[in-house]
Amino acid sequence: MGHIDEGAVKVIEIIGVSEKSFDDAVKQAVEKASQSISGISGVEVVKQGARVDAGKIVQYRAVVKLAFAVK
């Protein structure tokens, strides 16, 4: 997931949400997390899901794991 030569990597799991696509939900997760977490070095998509209303997808969700070096 995250590249590190030595030390330690922390991994957290979050959910990204988008009205556009699964790809955008992953992008939203990384961009939002980057506002409070520095040095994100990897992302792994764990699961995808969607909210459906009246037979149409209205929200895409991506459960992702983010890796960053422990300082």
How many CA within 13 A on the CB side of residue 23?
A: 0
d(CA 29, CA 15): 6
- pTM comes to 0.86
Domain-embedded: residue 3: no
Collapsed DSSP state (helix, strand, coil) of residue 10: strand
Q: What CATH number does the domain containing 21 carry?
A: 3.30.1660.10
Residues 15 and 62: beta-carbon distance below 8 Å: yes
pLDDT in tens, 16-68: 999 999 999 999 999 999 999 999 999 999 999 999 999 999 999 999 999 99
- State yes or no: pLDDT of 4 exceeds 90: no
Domain carrying residue 39: 9-69
Structure tokens at 42: 């990897």
Count how many domains the chain has.
1
